[in-house]
Amino acid sequence: MEKVMTHMATESMSMHPDIAALRAKYDAAAETGIAQAIDGLTFLTGLFLAISPWVVGFNSFTTLTGNNLIVGVALALMAVGFASAYGRMHGMAWVAPLIGVWTIIAPWVVSGDVATTRTIWSNVVTGAIALLLGLGALSLGRFRR
């Protein structure tokens, strides 16, 4: 019985007019041209981060390679989620800038002393782009159509 009451409370809360209006506001903001550009560029940044060890040539650093692959795929999937359902995903938007910061510091944290100029430049530039795009995704709810 308690489980049924909890489910009913959760269901009624998700249908609350304020929550529905907020989701509609975020969905409308996600349909703007700037939001679509942010989502697309975030997706491409995530894909580049995932393949960067092979493109830039530091795939011999297995820990940083694995890190960039996992974090890059996560960022790309977040961008897909933002593009398709920002009204439901906006609560996760704070993760994207953190991924950017993590990408910037990863060569030192993950690889330690084996980081090279290529790994540092690649991660710092990609991380800075991800940070800026993540901040843009985080602020999308403020845009009006």
DSSP 32: S
* Average pLDDT value over all residues in the chain: 82
Task: Count the Cβ atoms, other than its own, within 10 Å of residue 76.
Answer: 19
What are 21-39's pLDDT values in tens digits?
656 666 666 567 787 899 8
**What whole-number distance in Å separates Cα of residue 139 and Cα of residue 103?**
21
Is it the case that residue 11 has pLDDT exceeding 70? no
Higher-pLDDT residue of 13, 115? 115
135 burial level (CB within 10 Å; 0-12, 13-18, 19+): middle
What are 59-103's pLDDT values in tens digits?
888 999 999 999 999 999 999 988 887 666 777 889 999 999 999
